[in-house]
């Protein structure tokens, strides 16, 4: 006979009894085995000890002769003999069990308890998990006398083991003898003791081995029927959840428990019964007691939802239907019981039972998803999806995002057979959702299993289809969520490594743009990706990497594979131009220069890479790197513009201007129109701080540009911000400087300005209101023709005084 008994989740010892043997058949070579000590007499032990046997020798799991004797011998004098021979009464096996634990679990003779304790055994010895002999006996012994004997030697009745369980919890849940529970109660076991999860002994009994007498004894002793565990469940909830004995449910209701009591998540005992026990008699007992079959928990689930989700017993489903449960009621998310079964249940017969009871296989939840959607996405058992298809589920039904069940399976399922089953059931492998994604797009982006990709390709999915974002499945797999196995599977399945999007942007550009994986690059190139492919602007992958990828390694990889650092796009720009204008990484600049990029190269307008540092995203450190590599800070474009001219325009920033000045840029260089950088800085898109930086760097505030105008002429007519003119005047700008037409800044303001406050500022700075242009006109005469200044009180400041 084989006996395997558990103590607090552990098997104390697995024992095999071989029947009786005579003393003469025992051999000292079998010392310290179960068969020896189960049948040994004192004379056998004495003979073996005299032959040199060790009374403390432990075999296997450190089980000693005293452990074996305590468990299986019928003579307590054997204990005394072994102790007298030197055996330790508190010796432990590998899991910390002492001989008294073995008595507690296996022995029926209470004298063994008395003898061991008298010999010095600790009646409250604990193993590695805090289990005492009394706890062991409470949950495992079939003999109340053992429990009583331990109590008689002052074993702690309310000791707590790991998890917070007491001996009363163990007896309530595991014992087959009511007398053991009663003995513990008589000895003062606490009815209000709770485990770490809030279980009372009554919870344990209700969820336990189904003995009504134990539940009755606990209630009779004063156990609280409304005790709640950490989830707010009462003993009735736990009885409904775990016990198959309807008598316990009936008893707990009879003593006053509300069959519609709610837990913290709003679940009733009927929810609990539906979820787990699956026993129709328990469900019927609750319904007969007045349980509301359509009660909703905090998520809107009814008991039938819970049964669909967790119960594999079709009889339980049928019991709910016989009692009138609604098969198509939706929870807060709109999911019906069939949705829940599709998502969580492993038994296809439950699907069939729900549909037979009236459940709609094409019911939609709040997101438009059918049971087939949620089953394909969440349930790894293809039989569930197969059952739904057999019961009439539409394989191409779309949710509110346009996804079919195959989209959801491709994205979330860990079982590639799911795709095969859906396609076999009629699903279109190339169906598009609202974003134009096919199931293969979803798998390439979200699913890490290449077998899912393979299943879709085998089912006929197009590997080169483009979605609304201009992406192929291979592009998604190579950039957003790089997965080498998925990429290789797509390539093996016919994905084109040079496929462009609707804007003719090849795949390698996208990889270069943001990729950080050399292996992806190598794999695509090995498959035939063109390293010199051009997008609609004539840019190469190296241009994209230079302009958008902050990782210099991508530059190094592309060049190492043969990319040309001098390649020109349709505007004549090299990758270095692109990097200078947009990259914040000086390491990218350095990588290009190290690869042979020419800092003197010019685009179709004569701009060098240093001219492109005008971009607002650029970094001043880039300027230093380019100049250190030989870039000319005073290089002229085809319009005579220097990098400093370009840096003062739209999006200008003082650090860029200061950096250019620091490396030798001429602050008074003139372009083909004669304008200096200071002229360009005074614009509606400029920054007064840039004007200050230029002046601080030596710019002449009275430089004469196109048609003889100074920067102050521009400050009063091209911008409304007073700060520009204030900075210039403070720096010494002449308020009476005439242009080629004889216009002073005051004339310029009067004719083209829009901010009348500037009039007083110029006059205060010394502007002559009587100055005349080449046509003999004063500023006042021009101002009265300017509708922007009409009615402004400052206009009177321009009127020359009339002599008395």
> Residue 359 above 70 pLDDT?
yes
Cα–Cα distance between 245 and 184 in angstroms, integer? 24
For residue 472, what are its two tokens? 């192929």
Minimal CA–CA distance to 430: which of 458, 381, 465, 481? 465
> Is there a contact between 477 and 445 (Cβ–Cβ < 8 Å)?
yes
Minimal CA–CA distance to 327: which of 307, 346, 298? 307
Non-local CB neighbours of 631 within 8 Å, separated by 6+ positions: 599, 600, 608, 609, 610
For residue 616, what are its two tokens? 């607002």
> Residue 611 above 90 pLDDT?
yes
Q: What is the mean predicted confidence (pLDDT) over 418-443?
A: 98
User: Tens of pLDDT along 18-32?
Assistant: 333 344 468 898 998
Q: What is the mean predicted confidence (pLDDT) over 739-752?
A: 96
Q: What is the mean predicted confidence (pLDDT) over 345-350?
A: 97
pLDDT of residue 197: 97
> Is there a contact between 643 and 614 (Cβ–Cβ < 8 Å)?
yes
Write the DSSP assignment of 435-451 as a string of letters. Answer: TS--HHHHHHHH---HH
**Confidence band, pLDDT 50/70/90 cuts, at residue 139:** very high
Percentage of the chain beyond pLDDT 70 is 95
How does the average pLDDT of the chain come out, rounded? 93
pLDDT of residue 276: 81
pTM, to two decimals: 0.78
Cα–Cα distance between 571 and 278 in angstroms, integer? 74
pLDDT of residue 503: 57
User: Tens of pLDDT along 195-251?
Assistant: 999 999 999 999 998 899 999 999 999 999 999 999 999 999 999 999 999 999 999
Cα–Cα distance between 34 and 1 in angstroms, integer? 13
Non-local CB neighbours of 740 within 8 Å, separated by 6+ positions: 707, 708
Please give the distance of CA 182 from its chain centroid, rounded to a whole number.
51
- HSE (CB half, 13 Å, CA atoms) of 756? 16
Minimal CA–CA distance to 94: which of 136, 132, 64? 64
> Is there a contact between 453 and 484 (Cβ–Cβ < 8 Å)?
no
- Structural domains in the chain, sorted by start: 701-798 (1.25.40.20)
Cα angle 365-367-368, degrees, rounded to a multiple of 5: 65
* Eight-state DSSP code of residue 523: H
Q: What is the mean predicted confidence (pLDDT) over 437-445?
A: 98
For residue 169, what are its two tokens? 């919890």
For residue 51, what are its two tokens? 């032959």
> Residue 694 above 60 pLDDT?
yes
pLDDT of residue 1: 25
Q: What is the mean predicted confidence (pLDDT) over 385-398?
A: 98
pLDDT of residue 804: 40
Q: What is the mean predicted confidence (pLDDT) over 672-697?
A: 96
3-class SS of residue 177? coil
* Eight-state DSSP code of residue 247: H
> Residue 491 above 60 pLDDT?
yes
**Confidence band, pLDDT 50/70/90 cuts, at residue 502:** low
* Eight-state DSSP code of residue 636: -
Report the chain's terminal Cα–Cα distance, integer Å.
137
> Residue 337 above 60 pLDDT?
yes
> Is there a contact between 174 and 139 (Cβ–Cβ < 8 Å)?
yes
> Is there a contact between 640 and 608 (Cβ–Cβ < 8 Å)?
no
> Is there a contact between 792 and 758 (Cβ–Cβ < 8 Å)?
no
* Eight-state DSSP code of residue 275: I
> Residue 9 above 90 pLDDT?
no
Non-local CB neighbours of 118 within 8 Å, separated by 6+ positions: none
User: Tens of pLDDT along 626-657?
Assistant: 999 999 999 999 999 999 999 998 878 899 99
For residue 772, what are its two tokens? 């005349």
**Confidence band, pLDDT 50/70/90 cuts, at residue 802:** very low
């Amino acid at each position: 006979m084989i006996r395997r008994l558990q103590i607090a989740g552990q098997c104390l010892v697995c024992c095999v009894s071989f029947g009786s043997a005579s003393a003469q058949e025992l051999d000292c070579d079998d010392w310290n085995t179960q068969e020896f000590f189960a049948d040994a007499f004192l004379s056998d032990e004495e003979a073996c000890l005299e032959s040199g046997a060790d009374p403390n020798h432990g075999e296997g799991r450190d089980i000693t002769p005293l452990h074996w004797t305590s468990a299986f011998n019928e003579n307590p004098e054997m204990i005394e003999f072994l102790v007298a021979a030197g055996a330790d009464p508190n010796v432990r096996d590998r899991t910390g069990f002492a001989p008294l634990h073995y008595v507690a679990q296996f022995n029926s003779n209470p004298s063994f308890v008395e003898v061991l304790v008298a010999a010095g055994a600790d009646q409250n010895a604990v193993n590695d998990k805090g289990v005492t002999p009394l706890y062991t006996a409470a949950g495992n012994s079939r003999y109340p006398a053992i429990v009583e004997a331990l109590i008689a030697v002052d074993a702690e009745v309310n000791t707590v083991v790991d998890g917070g369980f007491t001996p009363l919890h163990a007896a309530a849940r595991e014992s087959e003898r009511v007398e053991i529970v009663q003995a513990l109660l008589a000895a003062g076991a606490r009815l209000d003791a709770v485990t770490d999860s809030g279980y009372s002994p009554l919870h344990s009994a209700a969820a336990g081995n189904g003995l009504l007498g134990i539940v009755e004894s606990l209630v009779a002793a004063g156990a609280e029927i409304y005790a709640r565990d950490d989830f707010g469940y009462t003993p009735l909830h736990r009885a409904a959840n775990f016990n198959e004995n309807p008598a316990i449910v009936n008893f707990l209701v009879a003593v006053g428990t509300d069959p519609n009591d709610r837990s913290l998540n709003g679940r009733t005992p009927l929810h609990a019964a539906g979820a787990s026990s699956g026993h129709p008699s328990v469900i019927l007992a609750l319904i007969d007691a007045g349980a509301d079959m359509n009660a909703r928990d905090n998520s809107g689930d009814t008991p039938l939802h819970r049964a669909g989700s967790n119960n594999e017993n079709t009889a339980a489903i049928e019991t709910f239907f016989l009692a009138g449960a609604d098969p198509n009621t939706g929870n807060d998310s709109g999911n019906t019981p069939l949705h829940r079964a599709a998502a969580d249940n492993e038994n296809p017969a439950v699907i069939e039972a729900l549909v037979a009871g009236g459940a709609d296989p094409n019911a939609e939840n709040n997101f438009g998803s059918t049971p087939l959607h949620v089953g394909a996405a969440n349930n790894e058992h293809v039989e569930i999806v197969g059952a739904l298809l057999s019961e009439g589920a539409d394989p191409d039904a779309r949710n509110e995002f346009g996804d079919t069940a195959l989209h959801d399976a491709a994205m979330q399922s860990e079982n590639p057979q799911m795709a095969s089953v859906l396609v076999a059931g009629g699903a279109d492998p190339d169906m598009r959702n609202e974003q134009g994604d096919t199931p293969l797009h979803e798998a390439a982006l979200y699913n890490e299993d290449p077998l899912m990709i393979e299943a879709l390709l085998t089912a006929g999915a197009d590997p080169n289809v483009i979605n609304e974002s201009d992406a192929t499945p291979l592009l998604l797999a190579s950039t957003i969520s790089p997965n080498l196995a998925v990429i290789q599977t797509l390539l093996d399945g016919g994905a084109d490594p040079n496929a462009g999007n609707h804007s003719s942007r090849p795949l390698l550009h996208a990889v270069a743009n943001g990729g950080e994986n050399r292996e992806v690059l190598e794999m695509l190139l090995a498959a035939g990706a063109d390293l010199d492919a051009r997008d609609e602007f004539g840019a190469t992958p190296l241009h994209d990497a230079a302009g958008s990828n902050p990782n210099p390694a991508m530059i190094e990889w592309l060049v190492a594979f043969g990319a040309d650092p001098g390649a020109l796009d349709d505007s004549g720009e090299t990758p270095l131009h692109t990097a200078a204008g947009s990259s914040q990484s000086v390491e990218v600049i350095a990588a290009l220069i190290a690869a042979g990029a020419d800092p003197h190269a010019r685009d179709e307008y004569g701009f060098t890479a240093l001219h492109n540092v005008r971009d607002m995203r650029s970094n001043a450190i880039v300027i230093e790197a380019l100049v250190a590599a030989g870039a000319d800070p005073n290089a002229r474009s085809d319009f005579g513009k220097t990098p400093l001219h370009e840096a003062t325009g739209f999006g200008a920033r003082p650090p860029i201007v200061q950096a250019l000045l620091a490396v030798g840029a001429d602050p008074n260089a003139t372009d083909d129109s004669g304008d200096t950088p200071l002229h360009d800085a005074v614009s509606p898109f400029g920054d007064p701080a840039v004007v200050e930086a230029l002046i601080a760097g030596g710019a002449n505030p009275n430089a004469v540009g196109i048609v003889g105008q100074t920067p102050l002429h521009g400050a009063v007519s091209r911008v409304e911000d007073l700060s520009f003119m204030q900075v210039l005047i403070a720096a010494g700008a002449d308020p009476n400087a005439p242009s080629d037409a004889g216009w002073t800044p005051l004339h310029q303001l009067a004719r083209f300005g829009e901010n009348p406050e500037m009039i007083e500022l110029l006059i205060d700075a010394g502007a002559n209101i009587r100055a005349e242009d080449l046509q003999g006109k004063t500023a006042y005469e021009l101002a009265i023709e300017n509708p922007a200044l009409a009615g402004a009180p400052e206009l009177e400041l321009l009127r020359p005084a009339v002599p008395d």
